[in-house]
Amino acid sequence: MLSRGNRVTTADEFRAVVRRGRRVSTCAGVYYFLPADALAPARFGFIVSRAVGSAVTRNLLRRRLRAVARELVDSGMLGRDIVIRPLPAAPRLSFGELRADVVSALAPRRVPA
């Protein structure tokens, strides 16, 4: 579970990241990034629509994404707000494939600091 300090929580925060942030698309999702205070821990938000699947599928996918986000925060990711919007192909990926997709999308070469 992500702590409160590592979550994008309000609608205004989500809106700011999606509208003003940079976007990276992969086969499994769309990732929005907005630079924040360089010393602040990374914050994550998730937008999982009904197009992804049933409620059970959406909740499982959200839990998996939170676990990946927790790993990234624990590894020391700082200075950005990130909103992840999985696409309908995401539930078909294994946890390892999903983790690899998220990590590659968040790689420094693809995302400005």
Residue 110, domain member (yes or no): no
Number of folded domains that form the chain: 1
Cα distance from N-terminal residue to C-terminal residue, the chain: 25
Residue 50, domain member (yes or no): yes
Residue 111, domain member (yes or no): no
Residue 28, domain member (yes or no): yes
Alpha-carbon dihedral of residues 82, 57, 87, 99, nearest 10 degrees?
Answer: 50
User: Tens digit of pLDDT per residue, the chain (113 long)?
Assistant: 777 878 888 999 999 999 998 999 999 999 999 988 878 888 999 999 999 999 999 999 999 999 999 998 888 878 889 999 999 999 999 999 999 999 999 886 655 54
Q: List, in sequence order, every residue forming a beta bridge with 82; answer none if it has no partner.
A: 33, 44
Residue 70, domain member (yes or no): yes
Residue 113, domain member (yes or no): no
Residue 41, domain member (yes or no): yes
pTM higher than 0.75: yes
Instruction: Decide: helix, strand or coil at residue 34.
Output: strand
Identify the domain containing residue 93 by its residue range. 4-105
Distance CA 32, CA 17 (A): 6
- For the domain that residue 32 is a member of, what is the CATH number? 3.30.230.10
